[in-house]
């Protein structure tokens, strides 16, 4: 009899328990976000100078600005390659005198940034990355010194291009 009583009590109370003061109601919200392609590129300096020096004591003339800080940001599709290149408009020129721009080279710091040698016909890689992101690094330029250079003030223009397909 006690077993029967226990069973009945269990059958009655157990189903009742979950119903004690429990209520809820839900509603849903659809959320969307649009991310469009965009890119940005900033250089810490718009110009740099290589000061005159004795080729014997200074075989490589560093840029007066020290390191050039580059910040590149790009939004692209997942897995795409973002690339940053630099191209010289010409050799270093002073009137009719020139210094081959291939005498200009750089070292680099920062993830994805690479060292290289300047070129006036083919853009040279400065850095590359996979997918979207924001990257910062430095380039330290130097020009190989030589007794062969004629006196003058030489100039060229470097163009940086950031590509995010």
Partner 1 sequence: MHRFMSIRFIVAWVVAGMALLIAPVANAQSITFSVSPSSISFADADPDTTPSITAANLTVSYLLTKSGGANWRITVISGTNLTSGAASIPISNVTWTATPVPPFQAGTMSTTVGQTVASGVGDVKSTLTGTVVFHLANSWSYNVGTYSATFTFTMSCP
List of residues contacting partner 1 (CB under 8 A): 1, 4-5, 8-9, 11-13, 15-16, 19-38, 40, 73-78, 131-134
Q: Which is nearer to partner 1, 40 or 150 (CB)?
A: 40
Tell the smallest beta-carbon distance from residue 143 to partner 1 (Å).
33
CA distance 38 to 63: 31
Q: Which is nearer to partner 1, 99 or 126 (CB)?
A: 126
Q: Which is nearer to partner 1, 68 or 82 (CB)?
A: 82
Tokens of 66: 């020290």
Query: How do strand 116-117 and strand 104-109 relate by DSSP bridges?
Result: antiparallel
Q: Which is nearer to partner 1, 23 or 51 (CB)?
A: 23
Tell the smallest beta-carbon distance from residue 38 to partner 1 (Å).
7
CA distance 133 to 153: 39
**Helix (H, G, I), strand (E, B), or coil: what is residue 133?**
strand
Element containing residue 7 per DSSP (H, E): helix 2-16
Q: Which is nearer to partner 1, 76 or 103 (CB)?
A: 76
Check: CB of residue 113 under 8 Å from CB of residue 146.
no
**Helix (H, G, I), strand (E, B), or coil: what is residue 52?**
coil
Nearest Cα residue to 112 out of 156, 56, 71: 71
Tell the smallest beta-carbon distance from residue 13 to partner 1 (Å).
6
Tell the smallest beta-carbon distance from residue 20 to partner 1 (Å).
5
Tell the smallest beta-carbon distance from residue 161 to partner 1 (Å).
18
């Amino acid at each position: 009899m006690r077993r029967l009583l226990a069973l009945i009590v269990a059958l009655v109370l157990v189903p009742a328990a979950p119903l004690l003061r429990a209520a809820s109601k839900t509603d849903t919200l659809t959320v969307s976000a649009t991310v469009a392609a965009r890119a940005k590129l900033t250089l810490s300096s718009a110009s740099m100078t290589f000061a005159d020096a004795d080729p014997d004591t200074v075989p490589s003339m560093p840029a007066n600005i020290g390191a050039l800080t580059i910040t590149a940001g790009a939004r692209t599709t997942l897995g795409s390659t973002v690339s940053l290149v630099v191209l010289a408009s010409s050799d270093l020129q002073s009137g009719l005198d020139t210094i081959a721009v291939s005498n200009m080279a750089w070292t680099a710091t920062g993830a994805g940034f690479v060292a290289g040698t300047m070129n006036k016909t083919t853009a040279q890689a400065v850095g590359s990355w996979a997918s979207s992101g924001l990257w910062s690094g430095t380039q330290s330029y130097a020009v190989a010194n030589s007794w062969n250079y004629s006196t003058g003030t030489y100039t060229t223009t470097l163009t940086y291009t950031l590509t995010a397909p």
